[in-house]
Each structure stands twice: as C-alpha cells, then as structure tokens.
C-alpha cells in the first residue's frame, strides 16, 4: 500500500495522478487541508476509484492531540530532530492517526508493505510520518527540488556522521530517501542525482478525466484560443515590495496582455488575499482560488499559455501548456523591486519573453 502526505492542492493533484496510474495498488492520501485553508468539500471526491482513499486532516489538530501526552511529546521531539526511534516512541503517532483516520490505521495493520510518499520531507507532518517507515520516496513539489541550500556550520557534525555534504543540503538527500520522482531528473543536484526518477504518471487520458471530475465542480473555465493564464505570486513578501508595488506590476502585465488581445484568466496564488486583485475584476476572468492551475491546463482542449513572475505553475505539464516565466527564481529578489521602481524595465522584459507567443 502507498501513503502520501500532502499539504497543498498541487501535492493532492500529483498524488491522485500517481494513484490513478498505479491502479493495481492501494493508495491512501493524507491531505492536511489547513495549510492552504481549503477543504475536500471544495471538490468532488465522493466517486473516487476504489483503490484511492483520501483523508482530510488538520496539522494543528493532529499536533495538539499527539502532544497531549508525555510520550506523544517525546514522539514529536524525535520526529522534529529526525532521530530514529524505537516502536514504543513511534506508537503515539499511530494512535493519534487512528483517531483521525481509523480505516487507514486498519489498512496499515493488514498491509505486508507500506511505501511512504512525501513532497516536502522537512515539513513537520512529513517528519512525523517518516518515523513510521524505514524508507520513503519523494515526489517533486517545485523548483526547490533542484536547488542546493546552504546550511549553518553547526549542522555539519551530524551530516558528517550520515555521509552528507557538510555545507549544503538538497531535498531528498536523507539516506532514508530511496527515490526522488521529479519532472527533470537531470537537473537534480549531482550528489543525489542517482536517486532521480522520471515522473511518468501525468500523461494519461484516464487521469485527466479523474482530475476534471474531481475539480470540475468549481467551474473549470471554458477557454478559447486567445486565452492565457496569469498565475500570480505574493510578491509583497519581499521586505522592500509593498502591496501597491505588487498591484502596479500586475496592472502593467495585464495592460500588456490586453494590448496583445489576450483574454486573461487570473489564477491567484492560494496564499494571497483575493481582495488584492479586485481592481482587475472587470478585465480578467478569476479562476477559483483553490483550483490548481494544472486542473485548468488538463481540461484545455488545446495547449494554453501560462505567464508568471517565476512560478512553478504548470511545471511538468508542458505537453498541455506553454510556460513563460518573466525571471528566474534566482533573480526574483532583484527583479521585483527593480520593476516596481522602473516600469520600463518590466515592459522590456515582457517584450523579450513574449516575443515568441
């Protein structure tokens, strides 16, 4: 059996795609919906294939219930420090899970083998569930899979004992991670590239139909040949970028697309306030906030164009869409403040990046 630990709608979509592709296996998907303040009630999950089971949980509720006992506190401590634990310390995690998903715990007891799938192995829920299995596998969650991250010097000694690079880390570098299923294995950092596997579960007619059935009750948008998706991002998380700056940048992008006679589908990032974009309401079609971009893409009759600042929206679905990022993720912190101060620089970028579309 397979268990997936999902925190975002994109995680959920990828888990569903893989579960539908591997239809001879049982798949159990844990969806911690409070991370993006959404709910399974937003979608049609009542008619899933019999081998797919989804459980909606809350990170806060799970953590509170687990830490309600001293032994649960100890389990949590071991998980957060990524320390291997004996069964008597792991047991409170299983007991807590049983309170929220009793059918899953029963299935775990009956299973001869459990394969754990994570998207971000370092988030708190993933760390907890990593204690339940000796090995796990990763599925890509975006550009972060291809980066090497610098780490402080005081983390070097435990990494030395585990045979890992001392000054940098990467997603999936834990020795317990067996495989890293990504869209572009050749881009993985060299020291973990041998774990890379090519994702092979997105391009399927049956899978596309499943995704449309699940997310279609939120009104997948009818698109025309001149439609384009503008995927926004919370630019104002940068200290020197204000809400006004963000709105100015997106106003400028929309104005440029209008001049090119595009019909604009505005896909607002799940962590943003939709009220930030009400000033564009009369000039765009706003997609449902909890609808994953990939669901819109898969439902399209023809490949659709996705434009973003530097979002991973549509990544891996290039057979069904064209992606235009106005800057690389490594240039993000420099480009956004520049565009806010010098609109002509953004115009020049738009002209250059959109020249072939």
For the entire predicted model, the pTM comes to 0.85
In the predicted model, is pLDDT for residue 217 greater than 70?
no
pLDDT of residue 309: 93
In the predicted model, is pLDDT for residue 165 greater than 90?
no
Q: How many CA atoms lie within 13 A of 349 on its CB side?
A: 22
pLDDT of residue 10: 87
Average of per-residue pLDDT values in the chain = 89
**DSSP states of 226-251:** TEEEEE---GGGSTT--HHHHHHHHH
> CB within 8 A of 79, min separation 6: which ones?
85, 93, 124, 127, 128, 130, 131
**What are 110-145's pLDDT values in tens digits?**
999 999 999 999 999 999 999 999 999 999 987 788
Hey, what domains does the chain have and what are their CATH numbers? Answer: 2-140 (3.40.50), 223-353 (3.40.50)
| Region 213-218 average pLDDT | 71
Task: Let me know: does 39 contact 9? Beta carbons within 8 Å.
Answer: no
Neighbouring CB atoms inside 10 A of 93's CB total: 21
* H or E element at residue 31: strand 27-32
**What are 32-74's pLDDT values in tens digits?**
999 888 889 888 888 899 999 999 999 999 999 999 999 999 9
pLDDT of residue 208: 77
Using the structure block, give the residue that is written with the tokens 């890379």: 196
Give me 206's structure tokens.
Answer: 């049956």
In the predicted model, is pLDDT for residue 290 greater than 80?
no
Residue 20 class from Cβ within 10 Å (0-12 exposed, 13-18 middle, 19+ buried)?
buried
């Amino acid at each position: 059996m397979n268990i997936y630990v999902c925190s975002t709608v994109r995680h959920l979509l990828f888990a569903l795609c893989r579960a539908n592709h591997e239809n001879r296996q049982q798949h159990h998907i844990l969806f911690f919906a409070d991370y993006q303040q959404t709910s399974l009630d937003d979608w049609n999950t009542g008619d899933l294939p019999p081998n797919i089971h989804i459980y909606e949980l809350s990170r806060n509720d799970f953590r509170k219930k687990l830490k309600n006992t001293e032994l649960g506190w100890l389990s949590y401590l071991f998980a957060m420090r990524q320390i291997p634990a004996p069964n008597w310390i792991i047991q409170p995690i299983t007991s807590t899970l049983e309170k929220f998903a009793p059918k899953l715990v029963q299935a775990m007891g009956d299973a001869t083998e459990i394969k754990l799938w994570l998207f971000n192995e370092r988030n708190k829920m993933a760390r907890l569930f990593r204690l339940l299995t000796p090995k796990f596998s990763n599925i890509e969650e975006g550009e972060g899979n291809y980066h090497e991250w610098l780490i402080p010097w005081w983390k070097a000694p435990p990494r030395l004992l585990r045979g890992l690079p001392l000054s940098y880390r990467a997603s999936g570098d834990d020795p317990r991670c067996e495989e890293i299923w990504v869209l572009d294995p050749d881009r993985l950092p060299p020291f973990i590239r041998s774990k890379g596997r090519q994702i092979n579960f997105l391009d399927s007619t049956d899978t596309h139909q499943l995704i449309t059935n699940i997310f279609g009750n939120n009104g997948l948008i009818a698109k025309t040949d001149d439609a384009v998706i503008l995927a926004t991002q919370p630019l104002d998380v940068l200290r020197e970028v204000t809400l006004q700056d963000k709105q100015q940048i997106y106003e400028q992008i929309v104005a440029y697309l209008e001049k090119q006679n595009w019909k604009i589908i505005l896909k607002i990032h799940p962590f943003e306030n939709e009220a930030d974009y009400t000033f564009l309401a009369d000039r765009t079609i706003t997609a449902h906030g909890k609808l994953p971009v990939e669901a819109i893409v898969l439902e399209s009759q023809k490949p659709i164009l996705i434009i973003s600042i530097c979002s991973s929206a549509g990544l891996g679905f290039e057979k069904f869409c064209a992606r235009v990022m106005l800057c690389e993720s490594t240039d993000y912190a420099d480009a956004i403040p520049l565009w806010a101060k010098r609109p002509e620089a953004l115009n020049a970028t738009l002209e250059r990046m959109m020249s072939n579309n």
